[in-house]
Amino acid sequence: MELARPMLGDSSDRSLFNERRCSVSSQSPRRILKGKEIPWIDIFVQARGNEFYVRVPDSFMMEGFNLLGLENLLPTQEYFNETVEYIMSTHTDSDEDSEPFYLNDMDNDIKTASEVIFEHIHARFLLTHHGMELVKEKFLKVVYGRCPRVCCQGTPVLPVGLSDCWRDYLGVKLYCPSCDDIFHPKKYRFREVNGAGFGRSFPHNFLMHYPRPIMFKDLKIEPRIHGFKIHPVGYSLQHVISKRWEDIYVPTSKTKRLKVTTDGSLCYSTNRNEADDETDWMDHLKTKKKKYSKKKHMRIED
């Protein structure tokens, strides 16, 4: 497994976390509902703009192998353990111990670090069977949207990232299984989601587990002219014919010259030297004609 690149060199580099991120880091991870508290991960997934994410089970995050290499993203192992605990912690009002560590006066680095770690965990979870099943539910409900191409007939799309590295911070894109093309999300709030939380390989792994017959078939448009189909060789043949005419010029009354381009259209030549050559050639013909007209005819005696 490829290890993630280090994000912070030491504790002094935590200022990188202070950069503005368009997510729910500003929201409090402690939300009380009827005397109960819900984990930060539930708040993050349910927040507006994060509908693309799925709920990663705690059992997946508790498995040490699934977090292998992610500790290199943070300065110390202790800081990484606090971040994982921050993501998974759930507390109730009956706790008589000291307040949870994330309720103390601390900087927002731990909040942003939690988003970074969760995005990498989320990308790994999507490669599992359980993760793909959760995405399949959203896919069938068209949570990610539909392909904007007319020929795809509204095929549901899948999220995909252009990079696996958090530092690149490339927004999430939408992959169409019908036309094999990617598009920007229609809603602007989804464009701020980091594509590293899904990875570059997810849609292709998803299509390997679920066959393409569940998708719509791509409707291809057949090129026609006046109702007649164009032969596949017709384009290349027409280009060969047009190429024969690319050096043929149609002289006009002005100094400009019409040129037949490779696509068969006519346009004025923009090369001033070509127009000058044409003018010189016409002047040469006039001079030669005038010279021969002044020549005296010899009289032939019988």
Work out the pLDDT band at 174, boundaries 50, 70, 90. very high
Task: For strands 249-251 and 173-176, give the pairing.
Answer: unpaired
Q: What is the pLDDT of residue 300?
A: 53
Q: What is the pLDDT of residue 12?
A: 38
166-192: average pLDDT? 85
Percent of the chain, pLDDT > 90? 11
Q: What is the pLDDT of residue 119?
A: 87
Q: What is the pLDDT of residue 130?
A: 92
Q: Look at residue 107 and tell me whether its pLDDT is greater than 60.
A: no
Q: What is the pLDDT of residue 95?
A: 41
Tell whether pTM > 0.75: no
Name every residue whose Cβ is closer than 8 Å to that of residue 45 and which is 6 or more positions away in sequence: 53, 54, 55
Q: What is the pLDDT of residue 280?
A: 58
Cβ-contact 211, 200 below 8 angstroms: no
DSSP letters for the chain: -PPPPPS-SSGGGGGGGGS--SSSTTS-S-EEETTEEE-HHHHHHHSTT-TT-----HHHHH-GGGGTTGGGGSS-HHHHHHHHHHHH----TT--SSPPGGGSS--THHHHHHHHHHHHHHHHHTTSHHHHHHHHHHHHTTSS-B---TTTTS-B-EEE-S-S-GGG-PBPEEEETTTTEEE--SSHHHHTSBGGGT-SSHHHHHHHHS-GGGSPPP-PPPPEETTEEPPTTHHHHHHHHHHHTTT-EEE-SSS-EEEE-TTS-EEE---HHHHHHHHHHHHHHHHHHHHHHTSPPPPPP-
CA 235 centroid distance within chain: 31
What structural domains and CATH numbers belong to the chain? 1-125 (no CATH), 139-221 (2.20.25.20), 232-286 (no CATH)
Tens digit of pLDDT for each residue in 250-300? 554 444 555 556 665 656 555 555 445 555 555 655 665 555 555 555 555
Q: Look at residue 135 and tell me whether its pLDDT is greater than 80.
A: yes
Q: Look at residue 15 and tell me whether its pLDDT is greater than 70.
A: no
Q: Which of 169, 176, 175, 119 is nearest to 151 (CA)?
A: 176
